Structure 1
Amino acid sequence: MSMSVGERDDNEPMMDMNTTPLIDVMLVLLIMFIITIPVQTHAVKIDLPVPTDSQSNVDPEKNKVMIDPAGTITWNGAPIDLAQLAQYLEQTKALPVEPELQVQPDPYARYIVVDNVLAVIKRSGVGKLGFVGNEQYSRVF
């Protein structure tokens, strides 16, 4: 609505634009835009171990897999290949209490070797996995 101040002749045409339909269309478009926006959900799928109340899962034995810059994979200090790693992991799964597996790649190890080792570990279904020595990467980058 507009208000005219001053003298105006009733026979003169109104020169102000009616903005009510424009506002109505804008509000309808805004509501349609809000309704059609998809909900932004970002999820990362992680396989977490299932917690149990029994204390029998705590085992002091820990197996350590290390990868050096030359690509040599070691199991508790002894050099192995990927097939032997898979065998060792199957043997640890057969134990009554699964020991923790610690993975420590060297900062300068090739990514493909580390990726292959992690793929073997994932396929074996190890439930207790930890990465150690992450503080060494702060000096690399």
Structure 2
Amino acid sequence: MAFGGFDQNKNTHPVAEINMVPLIDVMLVLLIIFMIAAPLMTHTVKIDLPKTNGAAQPEPPEAINVSINSSQQLFWNDAPVSRPEFQQRLRQIATQTPAPEVHIRADQTVPYRLLAETLADAAEAGVSRMGFVAAPNTDK
């Protein structure tokens, strides 16, 4: 072992093992310091902001769900609509500020032609915020 005995007459030689106790003590002290200091660093600086006459940001309008079922019927937020009525509603929302998003949901069996016509109607009306909605693949 690295520990010496009580006999002082023996030839002593240097210990070749590192004493870990002081290193562990320093590590625990540093851990405690960081545990105390970390929450103090997360507080923000308190400042008194100037008041202005600017208006608050308006809440974005709710998204509009456009659905096309397998029988090629159009739905506007779950209400069936005809193609001319659909085009009229698209023109109405294109004039709103801020413009709402249009989420398009189409059945897998819907022909691409009908989906392309729906997108063309939206583009012609001036709707620029559109997105496709798909179900996640759970076959993994």
So what's the TM-score if we normalise by structure 2? 0.52
Change (3 A) 1:128 1:105: same
For 2:81 and 2:115, how far apart are their aligned partners in 1?
A: 14
Give % identity: 26
Q: How many aligned residue pairs are there?
A: 84
TM-score (norm 1): 0.52
| Aligned-partner residue type, residue 71 of structure 2 | A
Distance 1:70 1:64, change over 3 A: same
Spell out structure 1 runs of 4+ moving beyond 6 A: none
In structure 1, runs of 5+ residues without a counterpart are 1-54
Specify the SS of the correspondent of 1:114.
helix
In the aligned structure 1, how far is the partner of 2:57 from the partner of 2:126? Answer: 20
Residue 68 of structure 1 aligns with an amino acid whose one-letter code is N
Match of 2:112 in 1: 111
Please name the residue that 2:128 is paired with.
127
Residues 66 and 119 from structure 1, CA distance in 2 versus in 1: closer, same or farther, beyond 3 angstroms? same
> Which aligned pairs between 1:23-62 and structure 2 lie closer than 5 A?
56=57, 59-62=60-63
Residue 75 and residue 82 in structure 1: after superposition, are their counterparts in 2 closer, same or farther (change >3 A)?
Answer: same
Which runs of no fewer than 5 residues in structure 2 stay unpaired? 1-55
RMSD: 2.3
- Report the counterpart of residue 16 of structure 2 in structure 1: none
The one-character-per-residue Cα deviations of 1:52-110 (angstroms, maximum 9, x if unpaired) are xxx84761411011001100010001111221111111111222211111111111112
Decide whether aligned partners of structure 1 residues 57 and 115 sit closer, same or farther in structure 2, where only a CA change above 3 A counts: farther
Call closer, same or farther: CA 1:134–1:126 in 2, change over 3 Å.
farther
For residues 21-56 of structure 1, give each alpha carbon's deviation from its aligned partner in whole angstroms, at most 9, with x where no partner exists.
xxxxxxxxxxxxxxxxxxxxxxxxxxxxxxxxxx84
Query: 2:53 matched to which residue of 1?
Result: none
Q: Structure 1 residues 91 and 71, CA, compared in 2 at 3 Å: closer, same or farther?
A: same
> Looking at CA atoms only, which structure, 1 or 2, has the larger radius of gyration?
2
